[in-house]
């Protein structure tokens, strides 16, 4: 039988969730299953294309809910998990015992591992390094902006590759490796090491680009690099360069997708008054209270810029949102 795992694309927590779920499924549910993967991105409208649930068993991890009767397993922790009308009611009416959601969980990976252990007898301990780093990365609990930007740890180097990789086959290979190899072993493989070195050189250039482009006003650091074709910039650079800012907003455009990202300075000493996930949901995006994003078709870049300006103004205003 074929297991299809749909996961949050270009996201360390998304890939780690897919890895933990796969190992759990093969160890505790169906050892001889053939596994295929598909990445999903938050965008306006329905992210689930027709026929997406093509496996004999289908799972969604670290991504929003879907009411399809073909969806068998579901694990998520985004507060924006229920986007379509009736999603939440459908989820709450489910009696399969295979669908789980906890918006208070800091990462889907650790949440999934806990449920798999408590309810299905899975032993996640061989994956503890992966689980711990997914928790730290997805909750942005780095000790400093320097740690998040200087990228010395193997997990952060792998995160950098994951966020930039365009080839699904490479990402799916990483999911396979995550199930049995240490993060250091994965990063040291020649192909991944070469990718990181190239990305790190570009990353250092990106730091200088953001230094030039970023503006600050009302506690918000803003930059627009849509004209460069760069997509996945390290989201902590603005706080590294402007440590006193509370929030960040940026516009990028790459791979036929314009994207607006909004975030909270993890090291800022202030009281957060905005729920960024709810702000993004108004425009078809999603995420968490402290970080969220909205995707648009590339030909709607002007609309993306309008939305980014509106969000930045709201964040500068200080009113709760």
The whole-number pLDDT of residue 44 equals: 61
Angle, vertex CA 82, rays to CA 69 and CA 70, nearest 5: 10
pLDDT of residue 180: 97
| Cα distances (Å, whole numbers) of residue 25 to 77, 136, 293 | 19, 24, 30
CATH architecture of 2-188: Alpha-Beta Complex (3.90)
pLDDT at 116 over 60: yes
Spatial separation of the C-alpha atoms in residues 60 and 63, rounded to whole Å = 6
Give pLDDT tens digits for 132-179: 999 999 988 998 999 999 999 999 999 999 998 989 999 999 999 999
Residue 311 makes CB contacts below 8 A (sequence gap 6+) with 249, 260, 262, 279
Residue 76 CA to residue 82 CA, distance in Å, equals 10
pTM metric for this prediction? 0.79
Distance CA 152, CA 160 (A): 11
Which tens digit of pLDDT belongs to each residue from 197-244? Answer: 999 999 999 999 999 999 999 999 999 999 999 887 888 999 999 999
DSSP 221: E
Q: What is the mean pLDDT of residues 68-79?
A: 96
Q: How many Cα atoms sit within 13 Å of 122 on the Cβ side? A: 26
Task: Give the span between the Cα atoms of 161 and 200, in whole angstroms.
Answer: 9
For residues 60 and 161, give the distance between their C-alpha atoms in angstroms, rounded to a whole number: 22
* CA-to-CA separations, 240 to 84, 117, 197, in angstroms, rounded: 37, 38, 21
Domain boundaries, the chain: 2-188, 214-317
Q: Rounded to an integer, what distance in angstroms lies between the CA atom of residue 140 and that of residue 264?
A: 10
Fold of 214-317: Diaminopimelate Epimerase; Chain A, domain 1 (3.10.310)
pLDDT of residue 271: 87
């Amino acid at each position: 039988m074929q297991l299809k795992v749909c996961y949050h694309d270009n996201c360390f927590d998304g890939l780690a969730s897919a890895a933990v779920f796969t190992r759990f499924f093969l160890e505790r549910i169906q050892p001889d299953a053939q596994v295929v993967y598909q990445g999903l991105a938050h965008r306006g409208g329905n992210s689930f294309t027709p026929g997406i649930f093509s496996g004999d068993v289908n799972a969604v991890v670290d991504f929003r809910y879907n009411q399809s009767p073909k969806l068998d397993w579901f694990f998520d922790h985004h507060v924006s998990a229920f986007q379509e009308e009736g999603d939440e009611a459908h989820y709450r009416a489910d009696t399969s015992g295979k669908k789980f959601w906890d918006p208070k969980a800091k990462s889907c990976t650790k949440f999934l591992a806990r449920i798999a252990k408590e309810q299905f007898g899975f032993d996640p301990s061989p994956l503890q390094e992966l689980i711990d780093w997914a928790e730290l990365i997805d909750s942005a609990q780095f000790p400093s902006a320097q740690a998040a930007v200087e990228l010395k740890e193997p997990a952060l180097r792998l995160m950098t590759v994951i966020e930039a990789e365009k080839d699904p086959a490479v990402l799916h290979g990483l999911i396979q490796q995550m199930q049995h190899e240490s993060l250091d072993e994965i990063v040291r493989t020649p192909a991944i090491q070469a990718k990181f070195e190239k990305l790190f050189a570009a990353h250092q250039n990106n730091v200088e680009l953001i230094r030039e482009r970023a503006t600050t006003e009302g506690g918000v650091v803003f930059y627009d690099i849509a004209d460069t074709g760069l997509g996945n910039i390290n989201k902590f650079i603005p706080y590294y360069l402007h440590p006193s800012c509370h929030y960040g907003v940026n516009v990028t455009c790459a791979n036929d997708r314009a994207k607006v990202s909004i975030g909270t300075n993890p090291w800022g000493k202030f009281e957060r008054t905005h729920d960024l996930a709810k702000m993004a949901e108004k425009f078809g995006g999603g995420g968490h209270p402290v970080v969220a994003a909205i995707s648009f078709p590339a030909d709607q870049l002007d609309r993306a810029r309008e939305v980014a300006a509106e969000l930045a103004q709201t964040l500068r205003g200080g009113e709760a949102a």
